[in-house]
């Protein structure tokens, strides 16, 4: 068995006086989409921020692509090939849509065919190309945040709740975009509260509660097992539809 | 997000970029308002040019400070010392080349001014690098300590200026051909003020070009808004910050040179004296905003000049009043910088 | 240490824990043997200066120390206990000075003028402190420092320009009430070899009022109000979440601090029989206050006593030492300039920076660490 692209083992994170992560272990296999589920406050966002180095793990190991990134700085982790889309999206509202994307492509001008592919995924962005990103609506900002993350090929995408607060029609087009990303071979770790969206996309699923991993397995197993859904997530697929 | 559905069904109208014109209109509005109080149009022009010149100098001194705050949430109360240091650095040039100031040749005069500016900027850039490393870096994250320690840096550096150049005020000559005034009919504009306006405008346009057209400029603008995201995109914001700190110090040095030739006297406290105006300007403009800083500088300087002419005793009070009014109108300043 | 004179102030703690001294100090004891000794020594020296030293300079130095203890302690209430950096403290100090000076000069050199001047000054300070608080609390916390700096500078400029009222750059000299004039004699014979004249009474007026104001400030920081201020300083959001109205507490702290500074200014004017922009309003005094509070020890109150004493003594005597050093190094480039007597502020500035980095508790903090419990 080959080593997974990302591997967390026994990760603890403290924020100020609060102990948030209590020994998180899970793996993200290359080329697959892994969903990170769990209720509010379970520690999903903290997990992503710890991987990104925005909060420092107080103990445990994070390995990425064969090397230890636990104590590296955020820019170094990004340079190792991880792109991060925070829950608040982190759009630079004062910059235009174009400038947001240009900035994300560290190595120089964005490849033309790649740009066409991205704008194919998110056609709305084309119309706002030279306008300050602050003018975008919430859903469009989310598209821009993801477009920015994939402006150059990356090894791993960390995406925090991309469907939060979006209208159903936007959720559907977001799911389409993730399908396309998956098809192009990207490795994605996606935090989701929306189980409908999650079940439509995930290869693997990791469920967190209270700063710990309480379940990991394949998405198809979880979708098939209503009892497990009820137990782990306190909701069912039907209830959410 | 109900607007979302509407947009996907019918092609929504293209939203226009919202430019905030209101604060920009304040400047001409202020000028027009002052005209009847000043009375004579020619005096008004003279006052306006003087105000613009002063505004440009304040802008040079303030722009670096506001960016440093925006990028790293650091407020440098010792910034004024770079102004003084830049002013004193002219002595390094005026010492050996003082005769150039007395020459009638415009070329030599301008070369002297240029050399003073270059040397002063080099000196203050170096001082900025040292200041950042020794004074500012150990106290990231604590505003209280920042204010205290940068004040300490101010005290020590002012004292060092005294130790090196002496404590008494030093007169410096304005180069020959920069003295006097341009006279157009009954309008009188002092030459040096016109030059100050030109230099200020060139620097402002240069900054705008860098901020809007270069990658480093994009990074600065992005960093002011959300430094964490800039890091998550793989850029080392520390390096960016240090460069901006150094550039801001050099600009303060440039402002110091302009200010020094304007006053034609050097004192170690001259930087701290203008700092009051600088603080008012960056508060009015919105901390972190270069455009706000520019508008704020002109506004403050014009008010100071008009009021100084109409009722001299109220000049500084008038600026406090302007600040209070702006804050009541927009508590975050004219151009609030969106943050996280 | 029961030798210390008891002031007629009764606190419940006095009864509960016993010890008048503990009560006077609001149960906030020095907590270090060395510190207790130094504080006691400063107290005794200040109390006895007119009898211990001859000539007017030592008494002048002692009066200055007393006034600065009040001024610095009131600033510590803001900086150390509330975590607010204000640059307008000298403005309130100046208002106190001008209140006394204007009343005594324009009305009459009587006690009722002193009262009128002081009350008017206190009222003006309170109004300004509230206004600044409300204006700058609408905006980000860091604005407070910048706004106070701007307002204080404007006040200084205003004071020097409104010369019909304030005497402008020259300031105002005035007569004191008869009992405080040098010619006044309380007894016809000297006591312990010292004539009890009006000058001496003026000194004890300064001394006693300073002691009272200091003890009141100590009382305030150790009251529930003071504890809330510290809670806000430690974690503004938590204090807010616990239901404390942060804005109101901070404004109240600035008002109390401003009032105490006003009293200090009034005392200084009474002592000097003069008030002008340079004695109370200048920015360099603001810097002196910062140096004193940080070097003495922020958030300790006793730091104000130590800081003021060390600073005022350094101002007078460090210069002598540096003069000698500078003369000894004559001939070497730059070095004599660095230890020139006029450069004493350079070294205090460096000490100040080191204090902020390395010993945030200042001298008091160091003493408590090195020599705990007295």
Residue A207 has pLDDT above 70, yes or no: yes
Please say whether the dihedral angle defined by the alpha carbons of residues C27, C28, C31 and C36, taken in this order, is positive or negative.
negative
pLDDT of residue C9: 40
> Which value, in Å, is the radius of gyration of the alpha carbons in chain A?
17
What does the alpha-carbon distance between residue A88 and residue C95 come to, in Å, rounded to a whole number?
49
Count the helix, strand and coil residues of chain B and give each as a percent rounded to the nearest 5: 75, 5, 20
Q: Flag whether residue A86 sits within 8 Å of chain B, measured between CB atoms.
A: yes
Residue C156 has pLDDT above 50, yes or no: yes
What does the alpha-carbon distance between residue A160 and residue A36 come to, in Å, rounded to a whole number?
9
Q: What 8-state DSSP symbol labels residue B214?
A: S
Spatial CA neighbour of C248 closest among C265, C268, C228, C264 = C228
* Contact call for B226 and A90, based on CB within 8 A: yes
What does the alpha-carbon distance between residue B127 and residue B246 come to, in Å, rounded to a whole number?
8
Spatial CA neighbour of A28 closest among A55, A54, A63 = A63
3-state SS, residue C374 = coil
Beta-bridged to residue C173, according to DSSP, are C274
* Contact call for C149 and B275, based on CB within 8 A: yes
Residue C8 has pLDDT above 60, yes or no: no
Q: Flag whether residue B320 sits within 8 Å of chain C, measured between CB atoms.
A: yes
Q: What 8-state DSSP symbol labels residue A86?
A: -
Asked if A189 and A202 count as a contact pair (C-beta separation under 8 A), the reply is no
pTM of the model: 0.84
Q: How many CB pairs below 8 Å do chains A and B form together?
A: 92
Give the percent of chain C with pLDDT over 70: 93
Cα atoms in the 13 Å half-sphere on the side-chain side of B194: 13
- Per-residue pLDDT band for C289 (boundaries 50, 70, 90) equals very high
Q: Which residues on chain A are in Cβ contact (under 8 Å) with B236?
A: 73, 75
CA B66 to chain centre: 9
Residue C6 has pLDDT above 80, yes or no: no
What does the alpha-carbon distance between residue B152 and residue C353 come to, in Å, rounded to a whole number?
6
Q: Flag whether residue A220 sits within 8 Å of chain B, measured between CB atoms.
A: no
What does the alpha-carbon distance between residue A210 and residue C20 come to, in Å, rounded to a whole number?
54
Between C278 and C212, the more confident residue is C212
Lowest mean pLDDT among A48-52, A58-62, A121-125, A227-231: A227-231
User: Six-digit token pair at B184?
Assistant: 């157009």
Q: Flag whether residue B219 sits within 8 Å of chain A, measured between CB atoms.
A: yes
Give the tens place of pLDDT for each residue, C342-366: 788 888 889 889 888 888 888 999 8
What does the alpha-carbon distance between residue B68 and residue B287 come to, in Å, rounded to a whole number?
9
Q: Which residues of B209-225 are buried (b: 16+ CB within 10 A; e: fewer)?
A: eebeeeeebbbbbbbbb
Between A236 and A205, the more confident residue is A205
Asked if B197 and B53 count as a contact pair (C-beta separation under 8 A), the reply is yes
* Contact call for B4 and A134, based on CB within 8 A: no
How many CB atoms neighbour CB C170 within 10 A? 12
Residue B10 has pLDDT above 70, yes or no: no
Residue B194 has pLDDT above 70, yes or no: yes
Average of per-residue pLDDT values in chain C: 86
Q: Which residue of A has its CA nearest to B15?
A: A135
pLDDT of residue A204: 92
Angle C233-C93-B151 (CA atoms, 0-180°, nearest 5)? 55
pLDDT of residue C16: 52
Give the tens place of pLDDT for each residue, A101-126: 999 998 888 888 999 999 998 988 98
The neighbours of chain C, by the rule of 3 or more Cβ pairs under 8 Å, are: B
What does the alpha-carbon distance between residue C271 and residue C206 come to, in Å, rounded to a whole number?
7
Q: Flag whether residue A164 sits within 8 Å of chain B, measured between CB atoms.
A: no
Residue A42 has pLDDT above 60, yes or no: yes
Picking from A52, A84, A103, the nearest residue to B222 by CB comes out as: A103
Between B168 and A226, the more confident residue is B168
Q: Which residues on chain B are in Cβ contact (under 8 Å) with C158?
A: 313, 316-317
Asked if C24 and C215 count as a contact pair (C-beta separation under 8 A), the reply is yes
The predicted complex's ipTM stands at: 0.90
Restricting to B residues 49-68, those with a Cβ less than 8 Å away from any Cβ of C are: none
Spatial CA neighbour of B283 closest among B234, B222, B214, B332 = B332
Which of A92, A131, A133, A147 to mutate to probe the B interface, most B CBs <10 Å? A92
User: Six-digit token pair at B324?
Assistant: 């209070």
Asked if B41 and B184 count as a contact pair (C-beta separation under 8 A), the reply is no
Beta-bridged to residue C197, according to DSSP, are C185
Picking from B156, B163, B283, the nearest residue to C143 by CB comes out as: B283
User: What is the DSSP code string of B101-138?
Assistant: HHSS-HHHHHHHHHHHHHHHHHHHHHHHHHHIIIIIGG
Spatial CA neighbour of B237 closest among C261, C151, A76 = A76
Angle A138-A144-A150 (CA atoms, 0-180°, nearest 5)? 145
Distance spanning both ends of chain C, measured CA to CA: 11
């Amino acid at each position: 068995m080959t080593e997974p692209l990302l591997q967390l083992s026994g990760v603890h994170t403290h924020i100020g006086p609060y102990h948030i992560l209590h020994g998180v272990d899970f793996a993200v296999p290359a080329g697959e989409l892994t969903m990170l589920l769990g209720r509010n406050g379970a520690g999903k966002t903290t997990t992503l921020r710890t991987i990104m180095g925005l909060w420092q793990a107080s103990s445990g190991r994070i390995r990425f692509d064969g090397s230890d990134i636990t104590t590296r700085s955020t820019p170094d982790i990004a340079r190792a090939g991880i792109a991060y889309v925070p829950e608040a999206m982190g759009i630079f509202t004062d910059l235009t849509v174009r400038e947001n994307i240009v900035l994300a492509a560290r190595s120089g001008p964005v490849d033309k065919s790649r740009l066409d592919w991205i704008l194919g995924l998110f056609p709305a962005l084309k119309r706002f190309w030279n306008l300050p990103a602050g003018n975008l609506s919430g859903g469009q900002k989310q598209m821009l945040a993801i477009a920015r993350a994939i402006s150059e090929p990356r090894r791993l995408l960390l995406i925090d709740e991309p469907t939060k607060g979006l209208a159903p029609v936007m959720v559907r087009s977001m799911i389409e975009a993730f399908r396309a990303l998956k098809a192009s071979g990207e490795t994605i770790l996606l935090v989701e509260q929306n189980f409908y969206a999650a079940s439509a996309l995930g290869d693997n699923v990791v469920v967190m509660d209270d700063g710990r991993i309480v379940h990991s397995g394949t998405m198809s197993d979880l979708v098939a097992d209503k009892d497990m859904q009820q137990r782990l997530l306190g909701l069912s697929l039907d209830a959410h539809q | 997000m109900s607007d979302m559905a509407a947009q996907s069904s019918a092609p929504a109208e293209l939203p226009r970029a919202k430019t905030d014109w209101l604060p920009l209109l304040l400047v001409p509005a202020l000028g027009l308002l002052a005209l009847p109080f000043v009375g004579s149009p020619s005096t008004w022009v003279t006052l306006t040019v003087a105000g613009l010149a002063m505004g440009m100098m304040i802008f040079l001194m303030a722009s670096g400070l506001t960016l440093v705050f925006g990028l790293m949430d650091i407020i440098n109360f010792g910034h004024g010392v770079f102004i003084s240091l830049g002013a004193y650095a002219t002595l390094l040039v005026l010492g050996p080349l003082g005769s150039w100031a007395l020459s009638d040749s415009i070329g030599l005069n301008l070369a002297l001014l240029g050399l003073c500016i270059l040397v002063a900027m080099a000196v203050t850039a170096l001082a900025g690098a040292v200041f950042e490393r020794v004074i500012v870096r150990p106290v990231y994250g604590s505003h209280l300590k920042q204010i205290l320690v940068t004040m300490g840096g101010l005290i020590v550096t002012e004292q060092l200026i005294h130790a090196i150049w002496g404590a008494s005020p030093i007169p410096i000559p304005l180069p020959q051909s920069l003295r006097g005034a341009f006279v157009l009919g009954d309008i009188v504009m002092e030459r040096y003020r016109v030059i100050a306006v030109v230099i200020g405008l060139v620097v402002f346009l240069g900054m705008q070009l860098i901020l809007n057209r270069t990658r480093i400029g994009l990074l600065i603008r992005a960093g002011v808004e959300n430094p964490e995201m800039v890091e998550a995109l793989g850029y080392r914001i520390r390096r960016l910050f240090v460069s901006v700190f150094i550039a801001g110090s050099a600009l303060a040095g440039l402002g110091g040179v302009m200010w020094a030739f304007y006053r034609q006297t050097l004192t170690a406290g001259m930087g701290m004296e203008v700092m009051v105006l600088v603080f008012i300007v960056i508060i009015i403009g919105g901390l972190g905003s270069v455009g706000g800083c520019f508008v704020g500088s002109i506004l403050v300087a014009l008010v100071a000049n008009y009021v100084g002419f109409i009722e001299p005793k109220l000049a500084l009070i008038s600026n406090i009043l302007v600040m209070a009014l702006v804050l009541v109108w927009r508590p975050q300043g004219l151009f609030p910088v969106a943050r996280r | 240490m029961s030798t210390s004179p008891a002031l007629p102030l009764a606190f419940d703690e006095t009864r509960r824990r016993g010890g008048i001294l503990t009560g006077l100090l609001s149960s906030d004891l020095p907590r270090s043997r060395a510190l207790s000794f130094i504080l006691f020594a400063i107290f005794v020296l200040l109390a006895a200066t007119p009898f211990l030293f001859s000539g007017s300079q030592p008494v002048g130095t002692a009066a200055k120390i007393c006034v600065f203890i009040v001024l610095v302690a009131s600033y510590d209430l803001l900086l150390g206990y509330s975590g607010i950096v204000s640059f307008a403290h000298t403005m309130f100090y100046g208002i106190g000075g001008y209140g006394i000076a204007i009343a005594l000069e324009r009305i009459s050199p009587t006690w009722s003028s002193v009262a009128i001047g002081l009350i008017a000054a206190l009222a003006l300070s309170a109004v300004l402190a509230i206004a600044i608080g409300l204006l700058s609390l609408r905006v980000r916390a860091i604005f407070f420092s910048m706004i106070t700096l701007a307002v204080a500078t404007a006040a200084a400029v205003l004071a020097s320009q409104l010369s019909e009222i304030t005497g402008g750059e020259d300031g105002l000299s005035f007569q004191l009430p008869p009992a405080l004039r040098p010619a006044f004699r309380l007894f016809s014979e000297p006591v312990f070899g010292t004539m009890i004249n009006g000058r001496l009474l003026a000194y004890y007026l300064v001394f006693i009022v300073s002691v009272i104001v200091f003890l009141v400030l100590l009382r305030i920081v150790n009251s529930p109000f003071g504890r809330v201020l510290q809670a806000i300083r430690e974690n503004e959001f938590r204090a807010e979440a616990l239901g404390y109205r942060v804005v109101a507490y901070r404004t109240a702290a600035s008002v109390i601090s401003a009032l105490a500074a006003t009293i200090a200014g009034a005392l200084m004017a009474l002592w000097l029989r003069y008030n002008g922009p340079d004695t109370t309003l200048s920015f360099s005094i603001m810097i002196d206050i910062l140096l004193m509070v940080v070097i003495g020890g922020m958030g300790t109150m006793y730091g104000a006593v130590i800081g003021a004493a060390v600073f005022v003594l350094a101002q007078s005597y460090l210069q002598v030492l540096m003069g000698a050093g500078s003369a000894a190094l004559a001939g070497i480039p730059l070095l004599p300039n660095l230890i020139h007597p006029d450069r004493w502020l350079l070294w205090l500035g460096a000490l100040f920076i080191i204090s902020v980095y390395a010993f945030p508790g200042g001298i008091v903090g160091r003493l408590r660490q090195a020599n705990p419990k007295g």
